[in-house]
Amino acid sequence: MASPDNDVAFDRIMELVGDDGPFQKRYNLIYNVLAVLVFGMTVVNILLVLTVPDHNCIVPGRDLYNVTSEDRWKNLTLPRELNNRGESGFSSCRMYNLSKYADGATPPDQWAFLPNETTSCRYGYEYDREYFDRTPVTEQDWVCEKELHPTNVFAFIRFGEVSGTFVLGQLGDRIGRLPVYLISLAMGALGRALAVFTAPYYGLFALLALVGSFASNTGFQSPLIVAMEISKDENRASLSMWQLGGWTVGICAAPLLLWWGRDWVWLLLGTSLPLLVFYCLPQYNIESPRWLAGQGRYPECIRMLRKIAKVNGKRFDMTVEELQQKAPRKEFEKMYGIVSLFSGSHMAKLTGLLLVGWICNTIPTFTLILLSTQMGGNPFMNFFWQGAIELPAYLCGQVLCDRIGRRWTNSVAFLFNALSCVPVILTIHQPGTELLTSIFAVVIKFFVCVTYFALYLQSFEVYPTLLRQTGTSFGIIVANIFGAAGPYIVFLGTSFDIRLPFVVMMLIGLLGFVTSIFLPETLYQKLPDTMDEGRRFGKNQRFWTMPKRPRGERAQHPGEVEKLNQS
């Protein structure tokens, strides 16, 4: 069994090479801000270019019948129908069958069609070009009979994230954080870039969308875990903020770039290929020395520590033998990967609660992203505000997690998430409520982001060291399996009744509120290192309590109590 002081011993080794120096700051700037910024654009660029603009059937013959007004021609040739907001407008997918008057004997002003005298669009589609010059949807006519094509691609993206997180998440704990990160960079860049050339081949396009999303989650997890494992404990939550800030800037920049460029090809190429630049900084792209020591790979660990010490201006002369003595290799318990997350009733309960939390967070997140481009108005600004609210939400989440703890922050945010859906459900069918709907959609996104911040911390802090990345990845896997329903929830809203997605999000928020309140508090707690500690973590915590900062004299060792979110 590993000594519970092993992590404390390695903390002291990190103090020798510097655990809060220039190396950590540069590493975070490069890999947890700039790389995450580009990764953020890569994740959402495919969602933006699959936006379905307003469209109608092309009906030729306007000049033949000497109809000069385009609006008048539409009134003559296109039936009207109610949209998903209960408003009357021109049909997107049907046109009147003009063969009834093909002889030209009846002037257009006297045309009269019965409701059943319509046909599908025979001559193609006319798209609203106000915001887009070309997208795969407009080039390949993925509308009407093919309207599920974009929705199915979104589901493929979710499946890619599920399978990629399953495979690469476990590899991160087995072969190391660095190899997984390099794989993530390559798949994100090449999957998106190659998709540009495959839109005419729908199956191949969907497959490449899957490939480009395969490493989405590990592209964020791997550098964050390395940063946490080379930095002092007090900086863990602030490290998450570095990354979340980069993500927010990235997803806000992507819609503005498409708005400016108006062309999906250049957006995908310009926001994906820059990921390859981060292969070019080997002096900072390191493997976690803490992980290497835990694997007994002491010579490599020494090399990583010396890299850190050199940049931090520290002298580090420790030998392999001295390192092995100070941080002996942990005697690994029998591990079964994901199965170990359910070893013991208490750990199984914690895993189950975290899984429900991830599901309740992921479905609204993806649903809101897809809805933002389908709610009317400027799709780029709708998407921008959905992204821009994330940074203040994460800052609020950090403050709340530090003041009232992870558990109360998570559960209360889920409750307000559910309550914020109610005004939209009650008013969205009333005319002139587009702005109100957009505002409340941003409010809902705010609380969803707060729950994400708390959940991310809880997932890292509840599991023992050797299961930390596996546990977090498994939560995201399960959430993304359920999250694949998000595109179809949006499809129901855009095709039938726009209220339906908000009803679903309200119910999910209530479920998240009920389940998250039973997770243990991790603020100011010594994190579990061994499997035995993981099975007992939080078992004796009282329900109606708030986390309290421990007094110095009560801690047996300054490294024994985690001092999170302190500035």
Residue 472 scores a pLDDT above 60: yes
Question: With bands split at pLDDT 50, 70 and 90, how would you rate the model's confidence at 124?
Answer: very high
- Specify whether the CB–CB gap between 230 and 19 falls below 8 A: yes
Q: Give burial (CB, 10 Å; 0-12/13-18/19+) of 552.
A: exposed
Q: Give the mean pLDDT of 149-156.
A: 91
Question: With bands split at pLDDT 50, 70 and 90, how would you rate the model's confidence at 242?
Answer: confident
Name beta bridge partners: 118.
96
- Judged by average pLDDT, the poorest of 212-221, 269-278, 411-420, 505-514 is 212-221
Look at residue 556 in the predicted model and tell me its pLDDT.
41
List helix spans (H) across 18-69.
Answer: 22-29, 35-49
User: What are φ and ψ of residue 466, in 5° steps?
Assistant: -70, -10
Pick 414 or 486 by higher pLDDT: 414
Would the pTM count as exceeding 0.85?
no
Q: Give the mean pLDDT of 540-549.
A: 75
Question: With bands split at pLDDT 50, 70 and 90, how would you rate the model's confidence at 335?
Answer: low
Dihedral sign for Cα 202, 208, 214, 216, please.
negative
Look at residue 558 in the predicted model and tell me its pLDDT.
38
Look at residue 560 in the predicted model and tell me its pLDDT.
40
- Position 123, amino acid: Y
- Judged by average pLDDT, the poorest of 151-160, 448-457, 466-475 is 466-475
pLDDT tens column, 340-397 = 888 888 889 999 999 999 999 999 998 898 888 777 678 899 899 999 998 899 889 9
pLDDT averaged over every residue in the chain: 86
Look at residue 331 in the predicted model and tell me its pLDDT.
57
Look at residue 307 in the predicted model and tell me its pLDDT.
92
pLDDT tens column, 173-188 = 889 899 999 999 999 9
Say whether 127 sits in a helix, a strand or coil.
Answer: strand
Question: With bands split at pLDDT 50, 70 and 90, how would you rate the model's confidence at 334?
Answer: low
Cβ neighbours for 553, distance < 8 A, ≥ 6 positions apart: none
Look at residue 544 in the predicted model and tell me its pLDDT.
73
**Domains of the chain as residue ranges with CATH:** 55-127 (no CATH), 335-545 (1.20.1250.20)
Residue 101 scores a pLDDT above 50: yes
pLDDT tens column, 286-324 = 998 988 988 889 999 999 999 999 999 999 888 888 888
CA distance 387 to 98: 46
